[in-house]
Amino acid sequence: MILKNVIFSNQPYTRTLVCHLPMSQNSSKNVAVIGAGSAGLVAARELQREGHRVVVFERENQLGGTWVYTPDTESDPVGIDPNREIVHSSLYSSLRVNLPREVMGFGDYPFVAKKKPGRDPRRYPSHGEVLEYLNDFAVDFGIIGVVRFGMEVGFVGKMENGKWKVSCRKRENDDLFANEEYDAVVICNGHYTEPRIADIPGIEVWPGKQIHSHNYRVPDPFRDQVVVLIGGAASATDISREIAEVAKEVHISSRSATSGVPMKLPGYDNIWLHNMIEAVGSDGGVNFQDGSKILADIILHCTGYKYHFPFLETNGIVTVDDNRVGPLYKHVFPPAFAPSLSFVGLPWKVIPFFLCELQSKWIAGVLSGRISLPSKEDMNADIEAFYSSMAASCIPKRYTHNMDDSQFDYDDWLAAQCGSTPFEEWRKQMYLISRKNKRTLPETYRDEWDDDDLIIQAHEDFVKYIPELAQEQKLSR
């Protein structure tokens, strides 16, 4: 491994880059990466660092995936129609990140505030700042040159010669097709685009409107409406408060509502908390399991997303079953195709950028032969044991990639495989504090905190990658 100091144009900082020495031609692979969101970008970087030749296919005309906000929405507001034109991003206009920027950034490319016009220096910045950060990342690591923009992958399948066929089309010009062969494919197509909606008895006769949060952008369409919002995760929390400013009433229906009776949300005149919906009726009524009934105009599903790989053909070997993508060894490699097919970024309830960085290092190292995988039998046995332990604990399949309680162990395991820096203690503590604050102080956690000591520790660590920060730290003391 060698260390290089590089000064980048447009960058106020010098960053210290880690480069692996080039490997022999034999272990260098031709790799297709699908998607130029945060996962695809960091996968491309790690593959290139390891000496592989990389092409990134991106169906949009710019990088950033989720972080490319668009006011456009899909023609089917609940996202069921298979023929609808897909809008990739699910961001709403007012979205600010829900992790502190110190935690959120890549391990060796800190997401620090930039003193440049147009940048958002807040600790929990708006979505546009994340897109700027990803653009900086792609420029600094020379990734833009390997991205094929506007290219939608429509088919990925294994050929008899052992290589992978990747077929793509230019999104704006259906006639332009390309078929190419690669040694390996890394799938980074994101999993916040294909809506999952709640099953509601009676919905076929209910006369109101329905929309999934994938198509929520601004609160205006909810003015003076009675809204039932289903869900209890981060987006549901943000959107319910935002809508309540213009709507007549907002009724949040969630599994986590513990009280058996409807309750007003403290601090709000027009938000009520209910447990699950029992049924809806042709009179516009919505009956909750808590025994209450209201007449509503709109049901807003903040009920999450489905994994979806419409381009992947594996003859039924890799499947999505009740939102379990499997069988996958450690959420990355299907044993039957390892290591030439891999997935980055499937786990949820995690710190995504950091986790994807480690998964990508692992994939790159395994592809070059620097890191070994267990035998196919041992990988399958590991997967079986994992699935059996979930079944024994009555955990539904759809929670297979939920890492609420296991991400630190998982990240440390990946880091050990790769011989790279384990999860920093400050990052762990900061994440846990922010998660608690998000739950207990949902309106204020982005602007008030009391973990300045951890911010100082983080910045002391960041000096390794951005030496100029040391000077700033001295001046601010």
Ligand X SMILES: Cc1cc2nc3c(=O)[nH]c(=O)nc-3n(C[C@H](O)[C@H](O)[C@H](O)COP(=O)(O)OP(=O)(O)OC[C@H]3O[C@@H](n4cnc5c(N)ncnc54)[C@H](O)[C@@H]3O)c2cc1C
- Which residues are at the interface with ligand X (CB under 6 A)? 34-40, 57-60, 65-67, 88, 90-91, 97-99, 104, 152-153, 188-190, 192, 235, 311, 345, 352-353
Give the strand pairing for 277-280 and 285-288. antiparallel
Largest CA distance in the chain: 71
Closer CB to ligand X, 239 or 296, in the complex: 239
Closer CB to ligand X, 151 or 200, in the complex: 151
Closer CB to ligand X, 128 or 281, in the complex: 128
Closer CB to ligand X, 339 or 347, in the complex: 347
CB of 434 to ligand X, least distance (A): 10
Residue 270 three-state SS: coil
**Residue partners of 192: CB distance under 8 A and separation at least 6:** 66, 90, 214, 305
CB of 85 to ligand X, least distance (A): 13
What is the CA 446 to chain-centroid distance, rounded?
19
CB of 458 to ligand X, least distance (A): 16
CB of 47 to ligand X, least distance (A): 14
CB of 90 to ligand X, least distance (A): 4
Give the strand pairing for 209-212 and 312-313. unpaired
Closer CB to ligand X, 184 or 296, in the complex: 184
Judge contact between 33 and 148, C-beta under 8 A: no
CB of 80 to ligand X, least distance (A): 19
Measured CA to CA, the distance from residue 127 to residue 295 in angstroms comes to 35
For residue 247, which of 274, 218, 273, 275 has the smallest C-alpha distance?
218
CB of 30 to ligand X, least distance (A): 17
**318: how many CB neighbours lie within 10 A of its CB?**
19
What 42-45 contacts at long range (C-beta under 8 Å, 24+ apart), as own/partner pairs, is 42/106, 42/137, 42/344, 42/353, 42/356, 42/357, 42/360, 43/186, 43/188, 43/344, 43/356, 43/359, 43/360, 43/363, 43/364, 44/141, 44/143, 44/146, 44/147, 45/137, 45/141, 45/143, 45/360
Closer CB to ligand X, 87 or 279, in the complex: 87
Strand order in the sheet with 30-34: 147-149, 53-58, 30-34, 184-187, 341-343
For residue 152, list its beta bridge partners: 169
CB of 84 to ligand X, least distance (A): 15
Reported in sequence order, the residue ranges of 129-242 that DSSP labels E, i.e. its strands, are 147-149, 151-158, 164-170, 173-182, 184-187, 194-195, 209-212, 226-230
Judge contact between 92 and 239, C-beta under 8 A: yes
Omega prior to 422 cis, within 30 of 0: no
Closer CB to ligand X, 296 or 356, in the complex: 356
Measured CA to CA, the distance from residue 34 to residue 439 in angstroms comes to 34
Closer CB to ligand X, 102 or 152, in the complex: 152
CB of 53 to ligand X, least distance (A): 19
Phi and psi based region of residue 412 (left: phi greater than 0; alpha: psi -120 to 50; beta: remaining): alpha
CB of 187 to ligand X, least distance (A): 9
Closer CB to ligand X, 227 or 356, in the complex: 356
**Residue partners of 276: CB distance under 8 A and separation at least 6:** 253, 254, 255, 288, 289
Closer CB to ligand X, 275 or 437, in the complex: 437
- Residue identified by tokens 């695809």 is 40
CB of 134 to ligand X, least distance (A): 8
Closer CB to ligand X, 70 or 256, in the complex: 70
